[in-house]
Structure 1
Amino acid sequence: MASSSKEPAAGRSKTVKLTGPEQVALFLKELEHPLKDEIEEVRKIILSAADDITEQIKWNAPSFCYNRQDRVTMNLQGKGCFRLIFHTGVKVKEAAATEPLFTDTSGLLEWITGDRAVVKITDNTDNTDLELKRAKLAALVARRMKETVQS
């Protein structure tokens, strides 16, 4: 998906870079996914978790940043589910934590490494999976963003 568009200006083409929210809005508008409604709802939950969370398209999916650092990225490749990848950014840390960066009191995170965890949102016809996770997810995102700001 392109993150810029061409506009004619006095016989020339000018590239206009889309803002992060514009990138995500266009991406979601064009997205064909069985859990599109849930994906859009999770986007709202994440953005409402803290005032200074921003968004962009990274790795062909919505990614959410805190202090200009990617912290949560959607993985939309699953069948009957999608995942939220909680991480400390794109660069591999030399001394990546072997223990989780913090204690997950929500029970939502599945730790892959000490600095990378996953929350899985599953497909269900009555939407209870997301509804059950909504409050915990918002609190988890807010905490994760603030606690990993130095990571």
Structure 2
Amino acid sequence: MAKVQKLSPKEEVSLHIQKLEPEIAEIVETIRQIILNTDNEISEQIKWNNPAFWYSGEMKAFDPKEYKRDIAVLNLYKGRIMLVFPSGAKVVNSLRLLEGDYKDGRRLITFKNLEDVESKANELQQILKEWISLVEK
């Protein structure tokens, strides 16, 4: 019996995006590239059935149940795409791009279309850089 080669996390994300409707796939791919181009210590995977981004650099030891490596996960809906930051509350939201005031610390950014993604790209990268600067190394 031939051994089945497992896909890498990057390949899994690419395959997931290829299966989306073309318009949604283009938006998701643009968000993906903005995030991955922000810092080389941001990695990707499929988590909760969606593309997710996590910090792959060195960190101080922590309880895995705290999800301190998780940066953001995409939630795909008809008419909007949400980028959810499970620990977004730790980022100073001076740009007001992060929405929500959830008790568990989540914050999110909603994208309506490709133009919306492109108009928010610089602020998104600033938020990601700040998030990474707050990592306990």
TM-score by length of 1: 0.73
Aligned to 2:91, what secondary structure does the other structure show? coil
Gap runs ≥5 in structure 2 = 58-68
Aligned to 1:128, what secondary structure does the other structure show? helix
Structure 1 segment 49-64 matched on structure 2, within 5 A: 49-64=38-53
Aligned-pair distance for 1:19?
1.1
Say if 2:59 is the partner of 1:70.
no
Deviation track 1:36-59 (CA, whole Å, cap 9, x = no partner) reads 211110000000111111001111
Residue number among 105, 119, 123 corresponding to 1:115 in the alignment: 105
Kindly indicate which of the two structures has a greater share of residues assigned to helix. Answer: 2
- CA separation of 1:45/1:30 partners in 2, compared to 1, >3 Å: closer, same or farther? same
Amino acid at match of 1:71: I
Aligned-pair distance for 1:128?
3.0
Give the Cα separation in 1 of the matches to 2:29 and 2:44.
13
- The residue aligned with 1:4 is none
Aligned-pair distance for 1:143?
1.5
Gap runs ≥5 in structure 1 = 1-11, 89-99
Give the Cα separation in 1 of the matches to 2:80 and 2:94.
23
Give the Cα separation in 2 of the matches to 1:67 and 1:52.
5
Q: Percent identity?
A: 32
- The residue aligned with 1:9 is none
Moved more, 65-74 or 44-53: 65-74
Structure 1 segment 24-103 matched on structure 2, within 5 A: 24-32=13-21, 34-67=23-56, 69-76=69-76, 78-88=77-87, 100-103=89-92
Q: Which of the two has higher C-alpha Rg? A: 1
- CA separation of 1:86/1:33 partners in 2, compared to 1, >3 Å: closer, same or farther? farther
Give the Cα separation in 1 of the matches to 2:71 and 2:129.
11
Deviation above 6 Å: which 4+ runs of structure 1?
none
Amino acid at match of 2:127: L
Aligned-pair distance for 1:64?
0.4
Aligned to 1:130, what secondary structure does the other structure show? helix
Give the Cα separation in 1 of the matches to 2:7 and 2:133.
27
Count residues with an aligned counterpart.
123
- The residue aligned with 2:61 is none
